[in-house]
Amino acid sequence: MSSGQATLGFKTPAWWAEAMLLLVAAVWGASYGLAKTAVFFYPVLGFLAVRFCVTALLLPTWRRLSAQQVRTTLTVGLPLGLILLSIFVAETYGLSLTSASNAAFLISLCVTFTPFVEWIVLRAHPGWAVFVATGVSLVGTWLLTSTTSLSLNLGDGLMLIAALLRAAMVTCTTRLTRGKDIPSLPLTAVQTGTVGLGCLMLGFLVLPDGLPPLPNSPVFWYATGFLVVFCTLFAFFAQNYALRRTSPTRVSLLMGAEPVFGALFAVWWLHESLGMTGWIGGLLIVGASLWAALRR
């Protein structure tokens, strides 16, 4: 029995991890609108510190792990946590500077980036379909972002950086956890704790007056609570679990519906308007990414 199966406490069929990833795509799609709402009430670094510190505290304890498992989990989890910290800082600042629908589509470029990162890290050569998909994705990005300006704004650029870091995250997770006995929940705790404490330190060091008192708005806490339970606790456990059972590219493929959920939620929750050109560009990005992953 694999460590992922042992973590859940029973033997699960192969499709179970993939079903979990599709649900992750749905809740992560909703996360863009909710995070954009939360940072309206509190600074980005403070919001991330609250979200991830609370997540780490809610995860199960380490009492049943051996000393070797604890060392291995920390050795693997800390560098992955630093990558995750970079992802969420870039992603959340980017989200605060662009529309939630743009952010949802641009982050899906991680599907296109993943084969190239696999090529560098895992020596897995991408096929010709990946290069075609990259060209189509670039056209889609231009159409998506040209609806408001002739070039990428800062928020769009940060979302592209976050997409590249996501590709690095899934690939490095596969490389660092391969063949190691690392339960998924403690690994998630190390990653989220690194993000939370990192944002807390950055908040006090970077912000001129440090972090302000926590907001009283129920909207902030409802949004943060949903993000903690569904978009962090469940989502990162599911991703860590699934990456032990399938390839990074297939993980990205199964989560390819995320930007569509994100754009639809942004239209409904934030009343954003995405014109026909923007929809065509976004769907080109998603379609090209999914086609390339299916070809592989």
Residue 51 has pLDDT above 90, yes or no: yes
pLDDT of the residue at 256 = 63
pLDDT mean over 207-218 = 91
- The more confidently predicted of residues 25 and 254 is 25
Question: Does residue 246 fall inside a structural domain?
Answer: yes
153 is in which domain, residue-wise? 14-295
- Position 222 in a domain: yes
169 or 14: which carries more pLDDT confidence?
A: 169
Query: In this structure, is residue 3 part of a structural domain?
Result: no
Least confident of 34-43, 177-186, 262-271, 287-296: 287-296
pLDDT at position 282 is 79
Most confident of 97-101, 118-122, 162-166: 162-166
Residues of the chain with pLDDT > 70, as a percent, come to 83
pLDDT reported for residue 2:
36
| 15 has a pLDDT exceeding 70 | no
pLDDT band at 175 (very low <50, low <70, confident <90, very high): confident
Residue 8 in domain: no
What is the model's pLDDT at position 151? Answer: 54
pLDDT of residue 208 exceeding 80 = yes
Give the H/E segment covering residue 202: helix 184-206
Residue 5 lies in a domain: no
Rounded mean pLDDT of 181-193? 87
Q: What is the mean pLDDT of the chain?
A: 81
CA 102 → CA 61, 152, 274, distances in Å? 38, 11, 9
Q: Give 104's contacts (C-beta < 8 A, 6+ positions apart).
A: 29, 32, 258, 259, 260, 261, 262, 263, 266, 282
The two structure tokens encoding residue 193: 């704790």
Which residues, in sequence order, are CB contacts of 115 under 8 Å at separation 6+? Answer: 124, 126, 130, 249, 292, 296
Q: Is the pLDDT of residue 296 over 60?
A: no
User: What pLDDT is stored for residue 82 in this prediction?
Assistant: 97
Lowest mean pLDDT among 1-5, 34-38, 159-163, 224-228: 1-5
Q: How many domains does the chain have?
A: 1
pLDDT of residue 232: 81
What is the C-alpha separation between 68 and 64, in angstroms, rounded? 12
Residue 195 lies in a domain: yes
How confident is the model at residue 257, as a pLDDT?
66
Is residue 1 one of the residues assigned to a domain? no
188-200 pLDDT tens trace = 889 999 999 999 9
Q: Are the CB atoms for 290 and 253 separated by under 8 Å? A: yes
pTM: 0.77
Could you report the per-residue pLDDT of 23-44, keeping only the tens digit for each? 887 888 888 889 999 999 999 9
- What number is the average pLDDT over the span 84-103? 91
Query: Looking at 30-44, 118-132, 176-190, 228-242, which range is the least confident one?
Result: 118-132
Q: Looking at the predicted structure, is the pLDDT value of residue 94 above 50?
A: yes
Residue 110 lies in a domain: yes
